[in-house]
Amino acid sequence: MIEFRSRAYYQVSIALAFGSFLIFCNLYLFQSMLPMLTESFSVSATKVNWLLAAGTFTLALMLLPWAFASEVIGRRKVLIISLFLLPIIGFISLLTDNLVLLIISRALMGMALAGFAAVAVAYMAEEFTAKAFSHGIGAYISANSLGGISGRIFGGTVTDYFDWQTAVAGMAFLSLIGAIIVALVLPKGKAITTKAPPLSQYHKTIAQHLKNKKILCAMLIGGVNFALFMNLYSVTGFRLVAAPYNMPISAASMIFLCYLSGTISARLVGIWCQRRSAISGMFFGAVISLLGMLLISYTSLVVILIGLNLLSFGAFFTHSLAYGWVSQQAKTARSTATALYLVNYYTSGSLGGFFLLYCWQHGGWSKVMLGAGFLYLLVFWLCYCLRHYSAVKEH
């Protein structure tokens, strides 16, 4: 097993963090462009949202197939294959300017992204000691947020000054270079000794994880948390490009710098777990996120930015704890367990986008707050359920 702060620990952590950075750059490349593309394609906000939702939906659908593949051919092969598919699909998407075909290309991108997302945490859980894992998962989630920030700002800024095709081409080149680097740095796994179940029996493995209420509750917490986080940002983007702010896309996309507070909070997870329970941390993160949402409702741009920072801090804190919880609670087929978490995570994020953007179109920010408030209540209830099931299990 790889010990914390060993040479192998840093080698694996850096490789997986950089791969994660590329994954989330590609996944969220189009999010900041949505207000501009609404006008370019002359469609509604909910329709153009498919450019984001198509990738997250197909990512969710392909997580389990990729997880099963990693049980058969190995984690590392799946990680590398996934990364090299990114530039290929990115260049292919440049062959069309039709919205429907572009959405299809984003769906293919989501399928490719799923390979890395499904396997990376399972790779760490099996290679690292418990202490190394608790710190490694924080670094991995931090890279997620940095990738999300960079992809959104890059997409919005390049599209504002050039066009969306230039943004896609630039990201494809970066992905190709990055895939080569990760392939050279990431070592072969040594600790994996489990044998993959037959494909005909794989549904039993899935059912086993879903019957574990401690795992199921954490999955649901992560999903609703992500639906709130990602889509409150999307709605805020539409809000800032509209009156009275009337901000250009390049300026509005800078709100994603507020993700940096999430990068910081994800790194604090290891310290929290040494002193307090993961469940109390999930609840704490949700409270901070809720406070951020309330501040975003103010008209002052400064207060909105403070609110977005709190939203990011709390959401990433909860996500890091819930994600790590699922990996550690699963005693067998860990890549399947983490894949199930991410299936719910990205499906919830996609559905949450249509829900909150519908609230925005049919009632403005006040209705968005009402819809988001309901989702926060659901997160708190799920934290209570997880605490109850954990207490019962211990006794």
Tell me the mean pLDDT in the region 175-203. Answer: 75
Q: Is the peptide bond before 197 cis (omega within 30 degrees of 0)?
A: no
**Helix runs in the chain, H state only:** 7-27, 34-40, 45-48, 50-73, 75-92, 99-127, 130-161, 164-185, 202-211, 213-241, 249-252, 260-267, 269-275, 278-296, 301-329, 334-361, 364-394
List of domains in the chain: 7-188+200-394 (1.20.1250.20)
Task: Print burial letters for 91-125: b (CB count within 10 Å at least 16), e (below 16).
Answer: eebeeeeebeebbbbbbbbbbbbbbbbbbbbbbbb
pLDDT higher than threshold 70 for residue 393: no
CA angle 190, 196, 197 (to 5 degrees): 160
* Beta carbons of 380 and 286 less than 8 angstroms apart: yes
Q: Report which of residues 141 and 183 the model is more confident about.
A: 183
Question: Residue 8: its pLDDT value, please?
Answer: 85
Query: What confidence category does residue 276 fall into, taking pLDDT thresholds of 50, 70 and 90?
Result: confident
pLDDT tens-digit map of 25-62 = 999 999 999 988 988 888 888 899 999 999 999 998 99
Q: What pLDDT does 343 receive?
A: 87
pLDDT tens per residue across span 4-16: 878 888 989 999 9
Show Cβ contacts of residue 216 under 8 Å, excluding neighbours closer than 6 positions: 209, 210
310-329 per-position pLDDT tens digit: 999 999 899 989 988 887 88
Residues 156 and 10: their CA atoms lie apart, in Å, by 32
205 pLDDT tier (thresholds 50, 70, 90): confident
Residues 306, 286, 322, CA angle at the centre, nearest 5°?
125
Is the preceding omega at residue 87 within 30 degrees of 0, hence cis? no
> Is a pLDDT exceeding 70 seen at residue 336?
yes
Q: Report pTM.
A: 0.80
Rounded percentage of the chain residues whose pLDDT exceeds 90: 53
Per-residue pLDDT, 200: 62
